[in-house]
Amino acid sequence: MSDTMRRSVPSKAARAVHDVDALAQKLPGLDAARYFDSQADEEYRAALTRWPVMARLMKLAPCETVFSDEVAEPLIAVENAPAASP
């Protein structure tokens, strides 16, 4: 195929993952690595609770079970309850 027959396809810019990355693509002087992105942190924490087995396999979470706050609170209450006498 000749060069004249090839259609030049403009390469797309890499899609930003989070807000700070998107802003850094538009503002060349902004260094995304120097800013804390709370959106990324919230998504990371949600993923750990949504897929606990995957998080442990990837060594992103400790080997204990990862629970969301709603599930962990009743379990903590049960663990701290006095033992029933026979």
**Is residue 57, in this structure, part of any structural domain at all?**
yes
| Digit-coded pLDDT (tens) for 51-79 | 999 998 988 887 765 455 555 555 455 55
Question: What is residue 32's predicted lDDT score, i.e. its pLDDT?
Answer: 84
Cα gap 79→77, rounded to integer Å: 6
Say yes or no to pLDDT of 85 above 60: no
| Digit-coded pLDDT (tens) for 12-51 | 556 766 778 888 889 988 888 888 878 888 988 999 999 9
Site of tokens 């599930």: 71
Question: What is residue 50's predicted lDDT score, i.e. its pLDDT?
Answer: 94
Q: Could you tell me the residue range of the domain that residue 46 belongs to?
A: 19-80
pTM of the model: 0.43
Q: Do the Cβ atoms of 62 and 43 come closer than 8 Å?
A: no
**Is residue 37, in this structure, part of any structural domain at all?**
yes
**Is residue 60, in this structure, part of any structural domain at all?**
yes
